[in-house]
């Protein structure tokens, strides 16, 4: 990679591993679920390939970790860094600001059930179907509320990384959270409204990478593809 790219701080986003509800397509907000055995293996595989000294996500280069308080995210963080977490001396912030979207009355439902309920309640019709980014959730979170908390995290990360835009003290940041809220985080990182149509996917246990163009804190970007570090 180019020298300036190597110096620019990055933000790694990691979705927690599989849960039983995620496997079934059920909306999982505040419900506190453990990872499935497959979910544990997903995280372990991610860690073995991408996490470690001189690997893509090097604990020695981490300045801060933001993690959801839900068990599935906490278990994922431990699976990623394990014993390295204590020795790295990285500050860890457990915060509701990166918890999954609050689905309210839709908790535990699948999308088809939500859309049928909303039609029955007169909220949607055949020409307009539920979209969490636009419509939020009955009894749960609105797009404005989700935007407000995500913007707090984006601002905090910019404050951490601003002094290190051209090298110096390592300032990578790790965010361990959930599928929907992490996609929302990407939107707000780029300055886009949550409802802007931009289809994204993030598999259980997957790693995404955000950073900045031109070593410039005012040019947030995402990496469409990241080169694997070359071992000396």
Tokens 């707090």 belong to residue: 152
DSSP conformational letter for 138? T
How many other C-beta atoms can be found within 10 angstroms of the C-beta atom of residue 104?
16
In our burial notation (b when 16+ CB lie closer than 10 A, e otherwise), range 10-44 reads bbbbbbbbbbebbeeebbbbebebebbeebbebbe
The verdict on whether residue 102 carries a ligand-binding annotation is: yes
DSSP conformational letter for 126? T
The verdict on whether residue 135 carries a ligand-binding annotation is: no
The verdict on whether residue 29 carries a ligand-binding annotation is: yes
Q: Is 16 a catalytic residue?
A: yes
The verdict on whether residue 72 carries a ligand-binding annotation is: yes
Selected catalytic residue, list 16, 18, 141, 178: 16
The verdict on whether residue 39 carries a ligand-binding annotation is: no
187 closest CA partner among 145, 223, 226, 222: 222
Q: CA-to-CA distance for 182 and 125, rounded, in angstroms?
A: 29
Selected catalytic residue, list 18, 64, 100, 178: 100
The verdict on whether residue 103 carries a ligand-binding annotation is: yes
The verdict on whether residue 125 carries a ligand-binding annotation is: no
Q: Is 100 a catalytic residue?
A: yes
Count the alpha carbons within 13 Å of 124 in the hemisphere toward its beta carbon.
20
What burial class does residue 158 get, using C-beta atoms within 10 Å of its C-beta: 0-12 exposed, 13-18 middle, 19+ buried? middle
Annotated binding site: 28-29, 72, 100-103
Annotated binding site for substrate: 28-29, 72, 100-103
Q: Which residues are catalytic?
A: 16, 100
């Amino acid at each position: 990679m180019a020298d300036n790219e190597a110096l620019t701080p990055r933000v790694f986003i990691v979705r927690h591993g599989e849960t039983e509800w995620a496997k079934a397509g059920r909306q999982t907000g505040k419900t506190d679920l453990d990872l499935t055995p497959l979910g544990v293996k997903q995280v372990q595989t991610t860690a073995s390939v991408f996490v470690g000294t001189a690997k893509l996500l090097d604990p020695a280069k981490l300045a801060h970790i933001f993690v959801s308080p839900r068990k599935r995210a906490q278990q994922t963080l431990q699976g990623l860094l394990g014993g390295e977490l204590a020795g790295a001396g990285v500050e860890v912030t457990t915060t509701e600001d990166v918890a999954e979207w609050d689905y309210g009355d839709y908790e535990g439902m699948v999308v088809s059930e939500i859309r049928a309920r909303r039609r029955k309640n007169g909220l949607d019709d055949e020409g307009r179907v539920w979209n969490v980014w636009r419509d939020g959730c009955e009894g749960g979170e609105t797009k404005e509320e989700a935007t407000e908390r995500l913007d707090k995290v984006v601002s905090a990360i910019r404050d951490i990384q601003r002094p290190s835009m051209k090298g110096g003290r390592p300032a990578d940041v790790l965010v361990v959270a959930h599928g929907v809220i992490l996609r929302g985080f990407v939107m707000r990182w780029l300055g886009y409204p949550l409802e802007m149509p931009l289809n994204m996917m993030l598999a259980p246990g997957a790693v995404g990478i955000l950073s900045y163009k031109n070593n410039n804190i005012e040019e947030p970007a995402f990496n469409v593809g990241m080169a694997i570090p070359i071992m000396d």
